[in-house]
Homo-oligomer: A and B are copies of this chain.
Amino acid sequence: MLKALFIDLSGVLYEGNKVIPGAVAAIEKARASQLQLRFVTNTSRKTRDQLLNDLKNLGFELQEEELFTAPVAVHGWLQEKKIRPYCLIHHNIKSEFADLLQTDPNAVVIGDAEQDFCYDKLNRAFQLCQQGAVLVGIGCNRYFKLDGQLQLDAGPFIKAIEFAASTKAIIIGKPSKDFFLQALASTGLSADQVLMIGDDIYGDIEGAIHSGLHAGLVRTGKYQRGDEHKISAAHLTFDSIVDAVDYALLEQIKH
């Protein structure tokens, strides 16, 4: 029986600064039920505080402990292992990594660095990895949608450095199983009691299925016509978060 919803943020609850129609009411309905909610995101353009604040402004009230972000998970991992990163990350979240020693780097961290993805900085990242630095990806998303257009996310740049330096990145965030299991542990549930709802066929859907969760693809955000046929494993599809929540509530009544 379904006991929790894991929900992706961008493209599921909102797109840019626009709320997906019905999303605020859907989350309120879900919250009024027995379902546990977790919000699971690779977003690496905002700090956790900015994210909570922006969500509040859009009408979504989240508890800090409900929110699992890839940058926070990466930061925790670096801190625990006392690793000195060279950070190719968005300027908005540089403050979140500022407490880590970053001289003489022995790791390269790649997030959605946007304009920081330039030849000189990518070259530096490559040279460090070639000399043995660990490559860490804040998620491995292919693209996201902004201003109506698909834009390159961190994943392609991670693949570029992997190829150049003949190395394999450690991915922290979706679709990494560890990341899903970290969010799962906070619920006390088993994987098959959880439905992950997302718009990314690789990060959200395949990642969740690979981690033992159920998965539902929404046709909002970065969804492209035909995406559902690119996933071989069994999954659900919904027009939006509204239908996904209705489905979950109906499943509750059935059992």
**A114 an interface residue at 8 Å Cβ cutoff?**
yes
How many residues of A sit at the interface, in one of the four size bands? 20 to 34
Could you tell me if B163 and A122 are in contact, using CB atoms closer than 8 angstroms? no
- Name the B residues within 8 Å of A160 (CB-CB): 152, 156-157, 159-160
Chain B residues contacting A17 (CB-CB under 8 Å) are none
Name the contact of A115 in the complex, choosing from B119, B150, B163 (C-beta under 8 A).
Answer: B119
- Let me know if B142 and A164 touch, CB within 8 A: yes
A157 to B158, CA, bound (A): 10
Number of copies: 2
Stretch at the interface among A53-61, A123-131, A178-186, A206-214: A123-131
Residue A155 at the chain B interface, CB threshold 8 Å: yes
Say if the beta carbon of A161 comes within 8 Å of chain B. Answer: yes
A161-210 contacts to B (CB < 8 Å): 161-164, 166
The complex places the Cα of A50 from the Cα of B155 at a distance, in Å, of: 37
Residues of chain B contacted by A115 (CB below 8 angstroms): 118-120
A residues 194-242 with Cβ under 8 Å of B?
230
Cβ distance A160 to chain B, nearest Cβ, rounded Å: 4
| A140: nearest chain-B partner, CB-CB | B163
Q: Closest B-chain residue to A142, C-beta based?
A: B164
Is there an interface contact between B119 and A152, defined as CB atoms closer than 8 Å?
yes
Which 5 A-B residue pairings sit nearest by Cβ, starting from the closest?
A156-B160, A156-B164, A160-B160, A159-B163, A117-B119
